[in-house]
C-alpha cells in the first residue's frame, strides 16, 4: 500500500469504495478483508472446516443424553422423562433421545463426542446474557467482539483471510462473528448471495461505478482492487452454488434440513471457507416439551446424518467438524406445564470423522445440584480451545485471552 493510505483510513471511509461513490454495505464489508489479503500475498494453508451449530433457547441436555439408570431423573421428570426402554444406548447409564437414530449411528461409528456438564463460572440463566458469554467466550466481559471474529483477526494479521473465510447462516449477525477488523458476511440463506451480487448487468455496474482505474500504488487503486477482488469471490461462489446439486435427501420443511443442506453446498463449492456458523431456535421448551423437543432432536439428528453421508460422497468427510452448543441447559425438575425452565450446565457435541468419539466427563450428578441446576465441571472454553488449536490451527491463548486445557477431542 502507498504511504498515503492505511487500514484505519479505510475503516473510517465505511462504505466508500471509490472517491465520491457509495456501494452496498456488504461489498464494503468484505472488501476490507481483501485489502490486507492482497497486501500480504498469502493464502490459508489448511482446508479444514469448522461448522458451529447454535441451539438457541437453552437445549435440555438431560433429555438429549438421558441418564436413564438414575432414579433421580425419573423422580424429577414424571411427565417429560424419557422411558429407559426407549433410549438409544450409549454407555452404562446413558442413552440418546429415541428420535436421534441418525446421530446414534454416527456415535456407534466413533464420530460423535459428547462433553458433559459444560458451563462457565457464575452461570447466568438469562438467554441474552448467557448467549453473549458463549459467543464472546468472555464470562468476565473482557471482550465485546466474538471468539470467531477474534480468530479471524489473527488470520487477517497473518494474511490468511479472504472475503469468504467465514460465513454465517442466520437472520441476524451473531456476536460470535463480530470483529473489530475482520469482516464476516452473514446471510439469512444462500439465496441472498444471488440477490447481493445480482445479475450480470448489476455486477458490471458495481464495477463501473468505481471509476477509471487509478494510478498504481495509490490509495484509490488499492481500494478498487480490493472491491473487485471481493466481487470476484462472491460472484464465483454464486456461480458454484447455482450449479451444485445436493447428494443427499434432507428433511423437508425442517430448519435443520434447510441449514445443513446449505452448509453442504458451501463446503462443496467454497474451499476458501473455513468456518460456517449456523443457528436455529425453538429450544426454550417451557411447555409441551416432549413433542417440541422431540421434533427438534429428530430434525437435527436426521439432517446431520444426511450431511455426513454427503460429505463422504464428495470426499470431504475428513475435512469437517461440527461443534454444537446452547446457551444453557434446563432445570432438573420439570415445571407445571409439561416442560422445563432455564438451567445452567449442559452438554456440548463434536461430530466428524476426525473426532475422537465417546462421552467425556461423568454423567450428570442429579444429587449434587446448585439451586436445582446441574453444576458445571468443564469450561466451554476448553472445547473452543481444542477446536481452535487442533482443528483450525489457530492460537487459542491469543483468541480466548488465556490458556484453557484442551480435551483431546480431535484425532
What are the tens digits of pLDDT across the range 146-176? Answer: 999 999 999 888 877 877 889 999 888 999 9
Question: pLDDT tens across 257-277, in order?
Answer: 999 999 999 999 888 899 999
CA dist., res. 169 & res. 137, Å (int): 20
What architecture is domain 47-202+253-400?
3-Layer(aba) Sandwich (3.40)
Helix (H, G, I), strand (E, B) or coil at 28: helix
- Is the Cβ–Cβ distance between 117 and 361 less than 8 Å? yes
Say how many C-beta atoms besides its own lie within 10 A of residue 302's C-beta: 22
Residue 86 has pLDDT above 70, yes or no: yes
Among residues 339, 332, 340, 359, the alpha carbon closest in space to that of 348 is found at 359
Read off the DSSP letter of residue 187: E
CB proximity list for 217: less than 8 A, separation 6 or greater: 2
pLDDT at 45 over 50: no
Q: What is the DSSP string of 37-91?
A: HHHHT---S---EEEEEEETT---HHHHEE-TT-HHHHHH-TTTPPPTTTSEEEE
**Average pLDDT along the chain:** 85
> Which residues are CB-neighbours of 81 under 8 A, at least 6 positions away?
63, 73, 74, 334
Residue that wins the pLDDT comparison between 382 and 215: 382
**3-state SS, residue 314:** coil
Q: What are phi and psi of 82, to 5 degrees?
A: -90, 125
Question: Contact, 273 vs 233, CB < 8 A?
Answer: no
Asked if 146 and 177 count as a contact pair (C-beta separation under 8 A), the reply is: yes
DSSP designation for 317: G
State pTM to two decimals: 0.83
Element of type H or E holding 131: helix 127-136
Enter the DSSP assignment of 215: P
Burial pattern 306-323, b for ≥16 Cβ within 10 A else e, equals bbbbbbeeeebbebbbbb
Structure confidence by residue, pLDDT tens digits, 175-202: 999 998 887 888 887 776 655 555 555 5
Nearest Cα residue to 285 out of 328, 238, 242, 325: 328
Rg (CA), the chain: 22
Residue that wins the pLDDT comparison between 57 and 232: 57
pLDDT at position 186: 84
Tell whether the model's pLDDT for residue 366 goes beyond 80: yes
Residue 211's pLDDT is what? 57
Nearest to 342 by CA among 96, 81, 123: 123
What is the rounded CA–CA span in Å between residue 50 and residue 274? Answer: 6
Task: Give the span between the Cα atoms of 233 and 237, in whole angstroms.
Answer: 6
Amino acid at each position: 500500500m502507498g504511504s498515503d493510505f492505511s487500514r484505519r483510513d479505510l475503516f473510517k471511509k465505511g462504505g466508500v469504495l471509490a472517491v465520491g461513490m457509495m456501494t452496498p454495505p456488504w461489498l464494503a464489508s468484505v472488501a476490507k478483508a481483501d485489502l490486507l489479503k492482497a497486501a500480504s500475498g498469502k493464502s490459508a494453508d489448511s482446508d479444514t472446516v469448522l461448522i458451529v451449530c447454535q441451539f438457541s433457547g437453552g437445549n435440555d441436555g438431560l433429555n438429549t443424553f438421558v441418564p436413564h439408570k438414575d432414579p433421580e431423573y425419573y423422580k424429577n421428570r414424571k411427565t417429560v422423562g424419557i422411558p429407559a426402554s426407549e433410549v438409544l444406548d450409549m454407555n452404562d447409564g446413558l442413552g440418546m433421545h429415541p428420535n436421534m437414530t441418525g446421530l446414534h449411528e454416527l456415535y456407534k461409528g466413533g464420530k460423535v463426542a459428547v462433553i458433559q456438564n459444560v458451563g462457565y463460572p457464575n452461570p447466568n440463566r438469562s438467554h441474552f446474557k448467557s448467549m453473549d458469554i458463549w459467543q464472546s467466550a468472555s464470562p468476565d466481559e473482557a471482550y465485546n467482539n466474538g471468539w470467531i471474529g477474534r480468530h479471524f483477526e489473527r488470520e487477517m494479521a497473518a494474511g490468511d483471510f479472504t472475503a469468504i473465510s467465514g460465513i454465517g447462516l442466520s437472520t441476524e449477525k451473531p456476536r460470535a462473528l463480530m470483529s473489530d477488523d475482520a469482516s464476516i458476511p452473514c446471510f439469512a440463506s444462500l439465496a441472498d448471495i444471488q440477490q447481493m451480487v445480482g445479475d450480470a448487468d448489476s455486477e458490471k455496474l458495481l464495477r463501473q461505478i468505481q471509476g477509471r482505474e487509478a494510478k498504481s500504488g495509490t490509495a484509490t487503486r488499492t481500494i478498487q482492487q480490493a472491491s473487485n477482488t471481493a466481487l470476484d469471490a462472491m460472484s464465483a461462489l454464486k456461480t458454484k452454488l447455482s450449479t451444485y446439486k445436493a447428494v443427499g435427501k434432507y428433511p423437508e420443511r425442517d430448519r435443520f434440513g434447510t441449514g445443513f443442506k446449505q452448509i453442504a453446498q458451501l463446503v462443496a463449492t467454497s474451499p476458501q471457507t473455513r468456518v460456517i456458523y449456523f443457528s436455529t431456535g425453538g429450544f426454550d421448551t417451557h411447555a409441551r416439551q416432549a413433542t417440541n423437543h422431540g421434533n427438534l432432536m429428530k430434525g437435527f439428528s436426521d439432517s446431520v446424518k444426511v450431511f455426513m453421508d454427503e460429505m463422504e460422497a464428495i470426499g470431504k468427510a475428513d475435512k469437517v467438524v461440527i461443534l454444537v452448543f446452547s446457551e444453557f441447559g434446563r432445570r432438573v425438575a420439570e415445571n407445571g406445564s409439561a416442560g422445563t425452565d432455564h438451567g445452567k450446565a449442559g452438554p456440548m457435541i463434536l461430530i466428524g470423522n476426525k473426532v475422537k468419539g465417546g462421552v467425556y466427563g461423568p454423567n450428570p450428578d442429579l444429587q449434587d445440584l446448585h439451586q436445582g441446576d446441574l453444576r458445571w465441571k468443564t469450561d466451554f472454553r476448553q472445547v473452543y480451545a481444542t477446536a481452535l488449536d487442533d482443528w483450525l490451527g489457530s492460537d487459542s491463548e491469543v483468541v480466548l485471552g488465556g490458556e484453557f486445557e484442551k480435551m483431546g477431542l480431535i484425532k
